[in-house]
A and B are shown apart, each in its own frame.
Chain A
Amino acid sequence: MEWMGLGLLVMVAMGIVFTGLPALLVLLTVSVCGAAIGVASGTIPFALLSALPGRLINLFENDLLQALPLYVLMGVLLDRMPIADALYRAGLAILPRGPAAAPVSGMMLGALIGPMSGSVGASVLAMTRIVAPRLSASGIPAPTRFAVVAVASTLGVVIPPSLVLILLGDAMLSAHTMAVTASGRADRVINTQDVFHGALVPAAIMLVFCLLVAWRAGRNIQIESSSQQKTTLTGAQAILAGISVLSLVTLLGGIAAGQFYAVEAAAMGATVLLVTGIVFGHLRLKALDEILRDTMAVTGALFALLLAATTLTLVLRTFGTDRLIGNWITSIPGNDIVVMTVVLAAIGICAFVLDAFEIIFVVIPIVVPPLLVRVADARWVAVLILLTLQISFLLPPLGYALMMVRGNFKENISFSALARAFSPFLLAQWVVLAIVLCAPQLVHIGEKAADTSRTPLVPLSDQEINRRFEQMMPKLPEPD
């Protein structure tokens, strides 16, 4: 019945694309149907499903997941306060005048507010509200505006600390724990801080590439000087922009130096924004009520996805689908780069129909544990997946950033015009992915030697690895 689980995964993808239902309902319906078929056919003992409440309670207790509402709150606060506007104007003020200044400043804004807002959705809202009208006023054509806003909104994914990065860090921790136990290696299990550190250099390369592409896209546009709107920077906006950049550097530096955890950094960011909003009069009771309502609604959507994905993963494991996928991964011929390429291609295919959050919650827990048995460098694997997820935000039809920007843009833009505007950015993303794939040392800069992977003294057989994976599967409750 291992194949049954694969059928369920296909049903999830089809359900999400063809029904238009919330992914939560699709995942729950497929899980319930799968469990019912499993119980009816005698494949799944009903008692095994009683493991589900315990798994859900584990999610409530997860320290890292406490960052979810904090990041969402920061994103909503940034959207309501004039910080993004001040940062954009400051960017324009420091850049040389010309048609390229507006898209480059927009890209810089995405890089700055992405890690602060933490979520792509919040970045898209801020970028669409702040940058898109100004790019339009500067005479930048619609396809380029669309591409700049969408790509800039995803920069926060790879620039730590972002929500996607935190959630991936948590998924990697669980996957690596299973892989280390199963393979008998003496590795220190990867955590979110490791993923942060590993992503820093690739994120910097990605940022430089995106800025170059934005500059080139802007430089090639012929704009009449009369259509260029003059954007001024007031003293108050300059101070606000300075404080924001300083806060971001403190946040990043504190995490990189290990002074505080990602959740604490998010709490600090949210506290600073809340206090600033109250002090400057942006947060009256009514506004706060709306902000907290929006925060809860978005947080609930993300957490609901996690609950549903946990249910589906349990059902897939009871069918043994994870073992089937694990066997496939361990039997891929070739070295680590070949294995990673195959798995990233599979994740990339999933990204056509699943959102990055769905991939983290549904696909990663099944695919990554056996992958990490095969490929020992967990930090490298995490960063490559992170880069793939960033690309997935821009892939049609379900690329989250793409969908959100399309929803917010009023213009009808032809697919060919969009493809022309997007292709240099997507090419830049693929180039960074290829660089990191071929140069794993990029994610290990500054890493302690003790933290690198160590192979076991006696290599384990495939049977032994499978046996250890079996031991980590949900236990069948004892019959009464």
Chain B
Amino acid sequence: MLVYGMGPFQRLLQIIDSTAARAVWLAQWLALPIVALLFLQWPLRDLFKSFSREANDLGQVLFAVYITVAVTAATRAGTHLAADVIAKRYGRKTRRLLFRLGIAFGALPWALLILTAGAGIVIPSASGLERFPDTFNPGYFIIKLALWILAVLMLMQAALNLIRPDVKDSE
């Protein structure tokens, strides 16, 4: 957990940080039902001849939520693929500057674009509680809503990485 000063701005950063951390921790457990549901598809389809579509739909919903949070989890854990054969010779300040430039001109505008351009897809789907088109099972809107979860979490993490003072070089 990062420790910030007592100012309201720092407190806001701390809230954003802990919210993102909590979201990542909660979402990591979704891997277990995803494994179970995808594993069950085969016996449900071939042995019991029922509920395999339901298992598939629920698996899709959980996968969409899991994967959107996972992107922020990777950023926080510093596991994004990177090649630092040359950049490892750069100083800490240079690397931090490059990282912040990448956030400011890459991740931040991209997340904003997704948030704004996705509104036309996400809002009607969520407000109408859209169902799966093939099976009419409920919950399809969550897959579309996951796009906004992705964008919001990326925005939160981008803000943290731009502002907080102790960004690691490995990030």
Contacts and interface: CB of A to CB of B under 8 A. Distances in A.
B81 A22 contact: yes
Contacts of B87: 18-21
Contacts of B39: 264, 267-268, 270-271
Interface in A265-299: 266-268, 270-271, 274, 289, 292-299
A147 B150 CA distance: 39
Interface string B86-106: 111010000100110111011
Contacts of A19: 87, 98, 102
A451 B144 CA distance: 36
A57 interface: yes
A18 B66 contact: no
A397 B66 contact: no
Interface string A27-68: 111111100000000000000011011101100110101101
Main secondary structure of the interface of A (DSSP, over half): helix
A398 B38 contact: no
A300 B110 contact: no
B28 A17 contact: no
B27 interface: yes
A49 B29 contact: no
A27 B81 CA distance: 12
B105 A33 contact: yes
B88 A66 contact: no
Contacts of B73: 293, 296-297, 300
Interface residues of B, number: 65
Nearest to A399: B83
Contacts of A267: 35, 38-39, 41
A52 B114 contact: yes
Contact of B82 (A23, A63, A65, A299): A23
Contacts of B3: none
B31 A69 contact: yes
Given A33-B105, A52-B113, A66 B32 contact: no
A24 interface: yes
Interface of B: 24-25, 27-29, 31-32, 34-36, 38-39, 41-42, 56, 59-60, 63-64, 66-77, 79-88, 90, 95, 98-99, 101-103, 105-107, 109-110, 113-114, 117-118, 120-122, 143-144, 146-147, 150
27 contacts: A19-B98, A20-B86, A20-B98, A22-B81, A23-B83, A31-B110, A32-B105, A32-B110, A33-B105, A52-B114, A53-B117, A56-B147, A57-B144, A57-B147, A63-B60, A65-B67, A267-B38, A271-B36, A292-B32, A293-B28, A296-B27, A296-B31, A296-B74, A297-B70, A303-B70, A303-B71, A357-B81
